[in-house]
Structure 1
Amino acid sequence: MAKRKLKEHHIQREWCKGCGICVAFCPKNVLEMDSSDKAVAVRLEDCIACEMCALRCPDLAIRVVVEKC
């Protein structure tokens, strides 16, 4: 199975309520909460495109786009 490669990591800030679930489930600590208590991707180079953040977000505020192989 080919390794997935991140193309885009999009966070809809208007939808984010700042619960921090995405931060807690990210295995590579890519996400953090900013000063407005909104999720932000701070280490995109570490993202393995597992989509745990998008799958766990109760507000559907995160979308992970991977490159097609």
Structure 2
Amino acid sequence: MAKIKGAIVVDTERCKGCNLCVVACPLDVISLNKEVNMKGYNYSYQAKEDTCNGCSSCATVCPDGCITVYKVKVE
């Protein structure tokens, strides 16, 4: 059976750093960046590269739709 590997892409300029995605992630993949975007918010990013399983919990709770989740089958 193939394993699913996930990855997220965050629209950093739309992210307002509400932290909902960080709390929703069951694998603690997402963190808030220390840097700020153009609006002055600490935006979220994928802190652990190979840990994401593509469950989409983060994208579901994001109120601004800033997160896109990708899933890839790994043999």
TM-score w.r.t. structure 1 length? 0.85
Query: Partner of 1:15 in structure 2?
Result: 14
**C-alpha root-mean-square deviation of aligned residues, in Å?**
1.8
Q: Which runs of 5+ in 2 are unaligned?
A: 37-41
Q: Check the 8 A contact 2:53/2:71 in 1, yes or no.
A: no
Letter of the structure 1 residue corresponding to residue 72 of structure 2? E
The structure carrying a bigger strand percent of its residues is 2
Q: Which moved more, 1:32-41 or 1:55-64?
A: 32-41
Is 1:55 the counterpart of 2:60 in the alignment?
Answer: yes
- Displacement of 1:34 in angstroms is 1.1
Question: Highest CA radius of gyration, 1 or 2?
Answer: 2
In 1, the alpha carbon distance for the partners of 2:15 and 2:44 equals 7
What whole-Å deviation, never above 9, does each CA across 1:18-63 have from its counterpart, x for those lacking one? Answer: 1000000000000001112110111021111100001110010000
- Displacement of 1:68 in angstroms is 5.8
| 1:46 match: secondary structure | coil
Q: Which runs of 5+ in 1 are unaligned?
A: none
Give the paired residue count: 68
In 1, the alpha carbon distance for the partners of 2:15 and 2:31 equals 13
Paired-residue identity, % = 35
